[in-house]
Amino acid sequence: MTKFNVYHQNLSWQKKLATPLNLLRQFIFILDKIKSTDAIIVSFAGYWSLFPIILGNLYKKPTFIILHGTDTVSMPQFNYGSLRKPVLRFFILSSIRNATKLFPVSKYLIYSKNTYINSIQGIKAYLSPKINLNYTVIPNGFKINDWICAESKEKSFVSVISGNRFELKGGEEILTIAKKYQNYIFYLVGSVDLEKIVNIPKNVVFLGYLNQKSLNKVFSKSQFYLQLSLSEGFGCSLAESMLCNCVPIVSCVNEMPNIVGENGFIVDKRSEDELLSIIEEAIKTDRNILKEMGENARNSIIDRYSLKQRKIKLIEEIENYTN
C-alpha cells in the first residue's frame, strides 16, 4: 500500500470578511505545492474547495472532495445547510461538478428521501439530472481503543447537541421525554444557549463542551444514547456512544438506522406518540437484554467503522488515480 506525504493547509473560514484573504492564501499555497503533488483532497465542499479543484484540473491532477453532510443539504426552516446560501451554493456545486471523484461518508449525502420530516436532500437534489456524479462511499472511521466502556450503567440518557442546532438535533423532543421520565437523568453535551430554552426539567443536565476523555465517561455511564436529529450526515457521536456500549435510540434519518441495525431503537415518525412509545419500549426492556444490545452495538462499530478500514479504502481510491 502506497504511503503519501501530505501537504496540509487549515484556514479559518468562519469569518466572511476573511474569505477573500483566505482564498488568496490558499491559491498561493496550492501553486507552491501542486507540481510535486499526486492528488488534491478537500474535506467538505465550500468556499475552500473551488480553487483546489480548478487548479487540480489545470495541472491535470486528480481532485477529490470528502462530503460530510452540511455541504449537501439546504434546510432554511432550521437555519441549516450550506446550500441554503446562494454564493456558498455556487462554490459547492461548481466544485462538485468539476471534481474527479467524491467520497461521501454516506450514500444519503448523494440523494435521500427523509421521511422523518418529509424532505428530499442530498447533492443530486440540487444538480441537473444530466450530471453523472462519480463517487464512492467511504464511511467515517473511529479510533476504537480511544473509547472504553464502564461495567455498570445508570438510569440515564445522553445526547450530543452542538451550538445553535438545538431544534435540528431533536432538543425539544428530548425535553418532552425528560418531563415524562423524571426518574431518569438526561445529559446534554454541547454548547447550548440556555436563555432560548424555557421550562427545562430538573432531570436535564447541560454539560457544555466536553473533551474526548470527559465525553467517554458520560457515554460509559449512560444506558441510552438519543440522536433525534432532523438531518444527519452520518452520526459520529452516535457511533462513539455505541463504542461505549450505549443502547442507541435514533430518528429514522439517513445513515443512522443502518449504523444502529438491530442494536437499538428507531423512531420512524416525528410525532410525540411515536417517540414516547419507543422510549417506553426501550426502558421496559430487560436489563440483561439491554446489556447484550450495548455490547453488540460496540462490536458492530468495531466491525464496520474502524479508522483502519477507512484509511485502507481511501488510499485504495487515491492509488487508482495516481499509479
* Residue 76: HSE in the Cβ half-sphere, 13 Å Cα cutoff: 5
Using one digit for the tens of pLDDT, what is the confidence trace for 39-95? 999 999 999 999 999 999 999 999 999 999 999 999 999 999 999 999 999 999 999
Instruction: Pull the grid cell for residue 208.
Output: 457544555
Confidence of residue 2 (pLDDT cuts 50, 70, 90): low
Q: Are residues 150 and 285 in the same domain?
A: yes
Over the stretch 29-44, which tens digit does the pLDDT of each residue have? 999 999 999 999 999 9
Whether residue 154 sits in one domain with residue 266:
yes
In a domain, 7, yes or no: no
The pTM assigned to this predicted structure is 0.93
Give the phi and the psi of residue 315 in degrees, each rounded to 5: -65, -40
C-alpha cell at 231: 438531518
Looking at residue 121, which CATH number applies to its domain? 3.40.50.2000
Report the domain count for the chain: 2
Task: Answer yes or no: do 48 and 123 share one domain.
Answer: yes
Q: Which domain holds residue 151?
A: 144-304
Handedness of CA 156, 157, 162, 167 (dihedral sign): negative
Name the amino acid, one letter, at 109: L
Same domain, 113 and 229: no
Determine, yes or no, domain membership for 279. Answer: yes
Same domain? 106 vs 175: no
- Band (pLDDT 50/70/90 cuts) for residue 9 is confident
Q: How far apart are CA 243 and CA 146, in angstroms?
A: 9
List the grid coordinates of 155: 438510569
E strand residue ranges, 146-255: 154-160, 185-189, 204-208, 222-227, 247-251
